[in-house]
């Protein structure tokens, strides 16, 4: 039986190869997964032209996935450095990579990432438009914006961020409601400017059906971008954010009518006490579609440490419904991240995702934690290193401070509780003072 997209297949009762792979990764019955894809509660971003992809599912009942942002800019145009980040991100088992390149001709780099990446690839086509056409933003036509989307589909991009919810009505809402940080989404600000400069409707909103036809052709998932996400804790859960979210819910239903998979993007910056309610709002207003959050960052005063502020918010967000975390690095708000920044961002995001999976009761989520606890009780250092999220760092820390007693570490020495209990319970001599 023929099908156009993963959602189309699911609604026809077909379990695709991609569904089989994802079901195995998630320890889930493939039929159950198919039903979730059919309902739109799980998306499997898998462009037909991405031949190296190892597919992943994003959504209800699945492990929380993480995304790594990278890409060149005018100030940092070295493609080789960004491709090295891709290689390392794949080694660190990130499930998604977004190429946010916004300078020059990005097609070559995008194609190289598709060729080498087993992770799903996302892009923001509007970033590419200015360089692709070598035109000022104001002079790009609605048709040209859509043609760039088609080009990304041809190149094998699995999911695209499209800020279709920023319509003229939303623009007026922004103007009526003051914010400290206005529009902080890069793509959102570009579209806002285009609409104001041309006095026209958002082309992605006005021509949403054409966009859906393009995405259906390649089975490219739309990540409906939150152009009006809060860029400060002061601006969270305000009229502009919620107005756009309502529109995203309406667009989600239109996409599903054409069997196009949808992910919803969310905040942003947000105080701890607002996160749970925001997760509920998204799931209600967007009909259970998978939710993808940047952070949220829970305080605005930690530049240099925003991988931590993001991980705190991300763990809470995923506990209460977010399905996909976009990593944040220590360089957030300061500069383009380097390789070490990226590694720290990945680790922080993976910790947040795993902590949330434990809280959500995701099948098998506690297994590694229980194995680590047993290794600690057994003082089995090699097992501890192998089970650690960053075993390399754990091994290095222990090597840098060698204990007198090889079983323990330099924190407790022979007073190590694990050593004490292991010896006492096995009937051995405790021997704390003697060599």
Residue 187 marked ligand-binding: yes
Residue 207 marked ligand-binding: no
Which of helix, strand or coil describes residue 181? coil
What is the distance in angstroms between the CA of the first residue and the CA of the last residue of the chain? 74
Q: Which helix (H) or strand (E) holds 65?
A: strand 65-70
Alpha-helical segments (H) within 134-222: 142-155, 168-176, 186-198, 203-206, 208-218
Handedness of CA 38, 40, 42, 48 (dihedral sign): positive
Break the chain down into helix, strand, coil percent, rounded to 5. 50, 10, 40
Residue 234 marked ligand-binding: no
Query: What would the two tokens of residue 395 be?
Result: 């091994």
Residue 163 marked ligand-binding: yes
Distance of alpha carbon 379 from alpha carbon 46, whole angstroms: 43
Residue 79 marked ligand-binding: no
Residue 228 marked ligand-binding: yes
Distance of alpha carbon 231 from alpha carbon 47, whole angstroms: 31
Residue 292 marked ligand-binding: yes
Residue 229 marked ligand-binding: yes
Closest to 157 measured CA to CA, from 125, 195, 205? 125
Residue 429 marked ligand-binding: no
**Does residue 261 have a cis bond before it (omega within 30 degrees)?**
no
Residue 320 marked ligand-binding: no
Closest to 319 measured CA to CA, from 370, 361, 347? 361
Residue 265 marked ligand-binding: yes
Residue 216 marked ligand-binding: no
Residue 185 marked ligand-binding: yes
Closest to 291 measured CA to CA, from 203, 229, 345? 229
Residue 186 marked ligand-binding: yes
Closest to 115 measured CA to CA, from 99, 133, 129? 99
Tally Cβ neighbours within 10 Å of residue 284. 12
Specify binding-site residues for [4Fe-4S] cluster: 409, 412, 416
Specify binding-site residues for substrate: 69, 98, 127, 163, 185-187, 226-229, 265, 292
Specify binding-site residues: 69, 98, 127, 163, 185-187, 226-229, 265, 269, 292, 333, 409, 412, 416
Specify binding-site residues for Zn(2+): 269, 333
């Amino acid at each position: 039986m023929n099908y156009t997209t993963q959602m189309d297949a699911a609604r026809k009762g077909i379990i695709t190869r991609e569904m089989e792979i994802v079901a195995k990764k998630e320890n889930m019955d493939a039929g159950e997964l198919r039903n979730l894809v059919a309902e739109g509660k799980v998306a499997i971003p898998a462009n037909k032209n991405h031949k190296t992809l190892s597919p992943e599912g994003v959504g209800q009942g699945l492990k929380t996935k993480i995304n790594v942002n990278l890409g060149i800019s005018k100030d940092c145009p070295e493609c080789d450095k960004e491709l090295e980040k891709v290689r390392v991100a794949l080694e660190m088992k990130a499930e998604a990579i977004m190429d946010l390149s916004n300078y020059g001709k990005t097609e070559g780099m995008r194609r190289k990432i598709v060729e080498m990446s087993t992770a799903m690839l996302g892009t923001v086509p509007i970033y590419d438009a200015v360089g692709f056409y070598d035109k000022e933003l104001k002079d790009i036509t609605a048709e040209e914006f859509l043609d760039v989307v088609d080009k990304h589909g041809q190149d094998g991009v699995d999911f695209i961020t499209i800020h279709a919810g920023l319509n003229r009505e939303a623009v007026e809402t922004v103007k009526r409601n003051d914010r400290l940080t206005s529009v902080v989404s890069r793509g959102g600000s570009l579209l806002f400017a285009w609409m104001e400069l041309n006095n026209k409707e958002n082309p992605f909103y006005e021509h949403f059906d054409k966009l859906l036809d393009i995405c259906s052709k390649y089975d490219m998932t739309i990540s409906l971008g939150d152009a009006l996400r809060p860029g400060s804790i002061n601006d969270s859960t305000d009229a502009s954010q919620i107005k756009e979210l309502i529109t995203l819910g309406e667009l989600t239903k239109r996409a599903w009518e054409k069997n196009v998979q949808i992910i919803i993007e969310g905040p942003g910056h947000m105080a701890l006490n607002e996160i749970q309610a925001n997760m509920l709002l998204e799931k209600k207003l967007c009909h259970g579609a998978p939710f993808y959050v940047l952070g949220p960052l829970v305080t605005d005063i930690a530049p240099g440490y925003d991988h931590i502020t993001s991980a705190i918010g991300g763990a809470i967000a995923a506990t209460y419904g977010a399905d996909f975390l976009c990593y944040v690095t220590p360089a957030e708000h300061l500069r383009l991240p380097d390789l070490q920044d990226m590694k720290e961002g990945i680790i922080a995001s993976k910790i947040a995702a795993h902590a949330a999976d434990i809280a959500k009761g995701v099948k098998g989520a506690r297994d590694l934690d229980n194995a680590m606890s047993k290794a600690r009780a057994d003082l089995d250092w090699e097992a501890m290193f192998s089970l650690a999220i960053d075993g390399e760092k754990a091994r290095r820390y222990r090597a840098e401070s060698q204990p007198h007693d090889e079983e323990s570490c330099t924190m407790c020495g022979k007073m190590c509780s694990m050593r004490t209990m292991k010896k006492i319970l096995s009937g051995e001599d405790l021997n704390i003072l003697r060599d």
